[in-house]
Amino acid sequence: MKIVAMVGSVRRESYNMKLVRYMQERYSSEVEIEILPINELPFYNEDEELNPPELVKILREKIKESDGILFATPEYNASIPAVLKNAIDWFSRVEPVLVNKPAMIVGASMGVLGTVKAQLHLREILNAKNVSTRILPGNEVYVGSVHQKIDEYGNLKDEATIQFIDSVMDQYIKWVERTVEFETSY
């Protein structure tokens, strides 16, 4: 199974990026996670959408070929960071490649609420007509106080969080497999 990840932080020491890299490693026997360089996308410009920058075309293809999407979002002023919104906007136009893709959302922040508000917004955005991403039901991964849970080597060291993410990932993989099975049976 192949999934692509979009991380809403361009920060060198990003906790959300560390979390995704940790997941990439931990679940590598079951799923290949490719992190898309959405930080290199220019600002979305409707004037360019019919002849978009090369990277938009490349990332669209990667999304089309993937079985699902992992979103990792920080919380910026009670919403998602612009870099993530910008990517979703590019992928929603002309060729809406996110439609029906099965998605899992995680988010890490130093606050106790761990990106609750950002994820609420993200869920609303993913439900927009030309985005229409399917979101794993019944599971919400909020990693609060993340600075106490990830060590200096980028390893998640909080046992309860590890077990929780393991169980959500397990459900996500099964759900994606069922989705793929369902689609190929037509």
Of 42 and 111, nearer to ligand FNR (C-beta) is: 111
The residues of the shown chain that bind ligand FNR, judged by CB under 6 A, are 9, 11, 14-16, 74-78, 109-111
What's the Rg (C-alpha) of the chain? 16
**Min dist. Cβ of residue 61 to ligand FNR (A):** 26
Q: Judge whether 55 and 49 are in contact, CB under 8 Å.
A: no
Task: Say if strands 68-72 and 102-108 run parallel, antiparallel, or are unpaired.
Answer: parallel
Q: How far apart are CA 23 and CA 3, in angstroms?
A: 12
Of 11 and 178, nearer to ligand FNR (C-beta) is: 11
**Min dist. Cβ of residue 148 to ligand FNR (A):** 12
Q: In the bound complex, which residue of the shown chain has the CB atom lying closest to ligand FNR?
A: 74
Of 75 and 95, nearer to ligand FNR (C-beta) is: 75
Of 29 and 77, nearer to ligand FNR (C-beta) is: 77
Of 129 and 147, nearer to ligand FNR (C-beta) is: 147
Q: How far apart are CA 43 and CA 110, in angstroms?
A: 28
**Min dist. Cβ of residue 34 to ligand FNR (A):** 18
**Min dist. Cβ of residue 77 to ligand FNR (A):** 5
Q: What distance, in Å, lies between the first and last C-alpha atoms of the chain?
A: 20
**Min dist. Cβ of residue 150 to ligand FNR (A):** 9
